[in-house]
Chain A
């Protein structure tokens, strides 16, 4: 971003210098460009929409919800908000079939940030989902009745305010961790400036770069590293829909080739899918030789995925040095560490029992990828969460970070902000962000080993077990407060397991099937994730602490050891398996 104080200043400076340079392109399922914006056009759209939003009655400083399907209408409106001094809070658009799941999130996010409008595009408003959302919201408790605006159909003009100050709030990034209590991460322009400058330096961005991504636009990975990165001068960003990627993963390889991409990024499952669902014939004409960065982040990096990818894509000219394991989180405006170079095996026993990263000693091992050293200006510490002291290199602890990229906190939650964003370490100035992730420093690189909290990572999405547990516990067939959810790894991928006590005594197979079906449907509907296995248990099975909290890790260990007293386990195909 150079010397520009904010990303908005950077866009204006670029538009003055290189107005015709391509900035954003959106391609459809066939790879055909269906929308493009040069730098000048992007600024023009931002000014037009920003002006129209102010003419519609919105005021600088107000928060707005952004609900868009994939496409450049989102990008135009997002930049329009920034230019108008509005604070955008992007959220995923609900599917028509899952509107009920999305509504509490919508309503609570809107209430949390006191949004004064919902922004979307005309086609979404006209869709079944849009119609259902806008109608159903009127009857949703907590909904404040704010207006919807289709930003691609807005007219009207009002004077634009002065450009933002670095200390102004730029965006509210709502964490996906918990649908029941969404937290808005308050990210000021100054944090974005530091983050994007670090990206420029560490990821070798310049104005000639070309990035390709299908990661959803409301995800911080795409929003900050991608859309705002391009806006700050990191070259041309080519986007396409995550649904189109799922339909035909080859589209990703084709776009990397066609645009001679220098940068691309995705969670591990994206690379696994690209490898598994493309053929050598697909790859014959692909050229990955221009890549400077092929980033894998946002979920655990699996050796099997990496090996399969390397083997399958060896003929594309993929430069080995472009492989970029990384670690970040929304609370730190994304990246903490990038460009891991080490791949190491550690003793599983030493890691799991002593929290030590020891070389293998003949027993089971765990293979991990380093995520690189802390970025420029980032203080990274590995801390014993119990004693709040820094642990030696090679020992596992909670990852704490502090830098100008650190977000300001959680909107409207001063106590939680103080606890999470301003944690103190003896002898160190300032406050640290507690990431909730576990890791260790080994030979100068951060290795992420797990999570302090019980968050479950499903296809790159962090799911709070409390959401799943409350959803199942609310059903009449289940015992409230007697449900535990956790993740287990199978075939290199994390799956959701639910252990639940049911109210029925001596249930037959039909009753067990009914219970499992109810739970699956409710979790799908309310939380939006698929339950892999559900163990249906008699009263007293779920372990609790003396203060009445469920003991997830103990329950998980009993599940893995086959040591749970259960009526049956019901796998995804729905047939109860009795012990």
Chain B
């Protein structure tokens, strides 16, 4: 899986996390996904996407479940941009 494909999955999962937290209905969930499509950039800080440490943690849990990887050693102190996240995930997925 290349980074572009991985990014799409991350967007899906991020949408799920936010939709679940905000009790978004189907239309709102679609809008949320569209919002992520419009706003996400590889070099963007994760916080720019509204992902605080709580939301980011829950996103990592979803990613673990989807890819059957362990992200528990992935330090939040080391994730700055979307690209940082993708690089770390790609390494773990390839090492499975």
Listed in ascending order, the chain A residues whose CB lies under 8 Å from chain B are: 28-30, 69, 93, 95-99, 101, 124, 127-130, 132, 243-244, 246-248, 459, 491, 513, 517, 520-521, 524-525, 528-530, 532, 571-575
Tell me if B48 and A524 are in contact (CB < 8 A).
yes
| Nearest chain B residue, comparing its CB with the CB of A28 | B72
Report the 4 A-B pairs with minimum CB-CB distance, sorted nearest first. Answer: A574-B35, A96-B80, A97-B46, A129-B77
Q: Is B31 an interface residue (CB 8 A)?
A: yes
Range, interface on chain B:
35 or more
Chain B 65-96: CB-based contact to A (< 8 A → 1; otherwise 0): 00000001001111111001000000000000
A/B pair count, beta carbons within 8 Å: 104
Tell me if B52 and A128 are in contact (CB < 8 A).
no
Tell me if A521 and B50 are in contact (CB < 8 A).
yes
Instruction: Known contacts A97-B81, A127-B77; decide if A29 and B52 are in contact (CB<8 Å).
Output: no
Tell me if A93 and B77 are in contact (CB < 8 A).
yes
Tell me if B72 and A573 are in contact (CB < 8 A).
no
Q: How far is the CA of A517 from the CA of B49 in the complex (A)?
A: 9
Q: Which of B29, B39, B48, B79 contacts A95 (CB 8 A)?
A: B79
Interface CB pairs A-B, < 8 A, 27: A69-B77, A95-B53, A95-B79, A96-B77, A96-B79, A97-B46, A97-B81, A128-B79, A128-B80, A129-B78, A246-B53, A246-B57, A247-B57, A247-B60, A247-B72, A520-B50, A521-B49, A524-B48, A530-B52, A571-B28, A572-B21, A573-B19, A573-B22, A573-B28, A573-B29, A573-B35, A574-B35
Q: How far is the CA of A186 from the CA of B64 in the complex (A)?
A: 43
Q: Is B61 an interface residue (CB 8 A)?
A: yes
Query: Which A residues touch B80, using CB under 8 A?
Result: 96-97, 99, 128-129, 132
Tell me if A127 and B55 are in contact (CB < 8 A).
no
Q: How far is the CA of A130 from the CA of B58 in the complex (A)?
A: 23
Listed in ascending order, the chain B residues whose CB lies under 8 Å from chain A are: 18-19, 21-24, 28-29, 31-32, 35, 39, 45-58, 60-61, 72, 75-81, 84
Tell me if A98 and B57 are in contact (CB < 8 A).
no
Q: How far is the CA of A69 from the CA of B53 in the complex (A)?
A: 13
Tell me if B77 and A572 are in contact (CB < 8 A).
no
Tell me if B77 and A124 are in contact (CB < 8 A).
yes
Query: Which B residues touch A127, using CB under 8 A?
Result: 75, 77-78
Other 8 A-B pairs with CB < 8 A, given A96-B76, A244-B72 = A30-B72, A69-B75, A93-B77, A95-B77, A127-B77, A243-B53, A243-B57, A524-B47
| Nearest chain A residue, comparing its CB with the CB of B55 | A530
Query: Which A residues touch B51, using CB under 8 A?
Result: 97
| Nearest chain B residue, comparing its CB with the CB of A459 | B54
Tell me if B45 and A525 are in contact (CB < 8 A).
yes
Query: Which B residues touch A29, using CB under 8 A?
Result: 72
Q: Which of B45, B49, B52, B61 contacts A528 (CB 8 A)?
A: B52
Query: Which B residues touch A513, using CB under 8 A?
Result: 35
Q: How far is the CA of A244 from the CA of B31 in the complex (A)?
A: 31
Output the least CB separation between A527 and chain B (Å).
Answer: 10
Q: How far is the CA of A436 from the CA of B56 in the complex (A)?
A: 33
Query: Which A residues touch B28, using CB under 8 A?
Result: 571, 573, 575
Output the least CB separation between B19 and chain A (Å).
Answer: 7
Q: Which of A96, A532, A571 has the most CB of B within 10 A?
A: A96
Q: How far is the CA of A128 from the CA of B60 in the complex (A)?
A: 18
| Nearest chain A residue, comparing its CB with the CB of B31 | A575
Tell me if A128 and B84 are in contact (CB < 8 A).
yes
Output the least CB separation between A476 and chain B (Å).
Answer: 17
Output the least CB separation between A96 and chain B (Å).
Answer: 4
Output the least CB separation between A98 and chain B (Å).
Answer: 5
Query: Which B residues touch A520, using CB under 8 A?
Result: 50
Query: Which A residues touch B58, using CB under 8 A?
Result: 246
Tell me if A525 and B48 are in contact (CB < 8 A).
yes
Query: Which A residues touch B55, using CB under 8 A?
Result: 530
Tell me if A98 and B45 are in contact (CB < 8 A).
yes
| Nearest chain B residue, comparing its CB with the CB of A273 | B54
Output the least CB separation between B3 and chain A (Å).
Answer: 18
| Nearest chain B residue, comparing its CB with the CB of A69 | B77
Query: Which A residues touch B60, using CB under 8 A?
Result: 247
Query: Which B residues touch A69, using CB under 8 A?
Result: 75, 77
Query: Which B residues touch A247, using CB under 8 A?
Result: 57, 60-61, 72
Q: How far is the CA of A525 from the CA of B52 in the complex (A)?
A: 9
Query: Which B residues touch A243, using CB under 8 A?
Result: 53, 57, 76
| Nearest chain A residue, comparing its CB with the CB of B27 | A575
| Nearest chain A residue, comparing its CB with the CB of B39 | A517
Query: Which A residues touch B24, using CB under 8 A?
Result: 572-573
Q: How far is the CA of A93 from the CA of B60 in the complex (A)?
A: 20
Instruction: Known contacts A127-B77, A572-B18, A573-B18; decide if A529 and B52 are in contact (CB<8 Å).
Output: yes
Query: Which B residues touch A573, using CB under 8 A?
Result: 18-19, 22, 24, 28-29, 31-32, 35
Tell me if A97 and B47 are in contact (CB < 8 A).
yes
Tell me if A128 and B78 are in contact (CB < 8 A).
yes
| Nearest chain A residue, comparing its CB with the CB of B60 | A247
| Nearest chain B residue, comparing its CB with the CB of A521 | B48
Output the least CB separation between A441 and chain B (Å).
Answer: 35
| Nearest chain B residue, comparing its CB with the CB of A525 | B47
Q: How far is the CA of A335 from the CA of B46 in the complex (A)?
A: 36
Q: How far is the CA of A491 from the CA of B76 in the complex (A)?
A: 29
Query: Which A residues touch B54, using CB under 8 A?
Result: 246, 459
Query: Which B residues touch A572, using CB under 8 A?
Result: 18, 21-22, 24, 32, 50
Output the least CB separation between B73 and chain A (Å).
Answer: 8
Query: Which A residues touch B19, using CB under 8 A?
Result: 573
